[in-house]
């Protein structure tokens, strides 16, 4: 519900912050949209009774509803959190810095 609250009524120029520090995990991907066959999840305090929050749900709740011009800053400190927003981007970082170019 807090994720819904965060994006509710946001508009261009707004800057939102989502922070999660806690457990993260993975579960089998049943929709076929994950290359590795697993969805990433967040494990909130009540996950044993209410279930984990799956990356597809996080994307549908926090990312897709954002209107153009809204910035979302997501700080996620959890295992398997690298793709927990299910963004369609891939970051490749070169370990070598070439100076003078």
As annotated, the active-site residues are 23, 79
The CB density around residue 59, as the number of other CB atoms within 10 Å, is 17
């Amino acid at each position: 519900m807090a994720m819904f609250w965060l994006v509710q009524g946001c508009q261009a120029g707004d800057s939102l912050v989502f922070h999660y520090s806690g457990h993260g995990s993975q579960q089998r991907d049943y929709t076929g949209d994950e290359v590795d066959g697993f969805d990433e999840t967040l494990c909130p305090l009540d996950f044993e009774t209410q279930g984990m929050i799956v990356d597809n749900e996080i994307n549908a709740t926090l990312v897709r509803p954002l209107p153009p011009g809204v910035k979302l800053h997501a700080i996620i400190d959890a295992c398997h959190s690298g793709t927990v927003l299910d963004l369609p981007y891939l970051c490749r970082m070169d370990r070598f810095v070439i100076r003078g170019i």
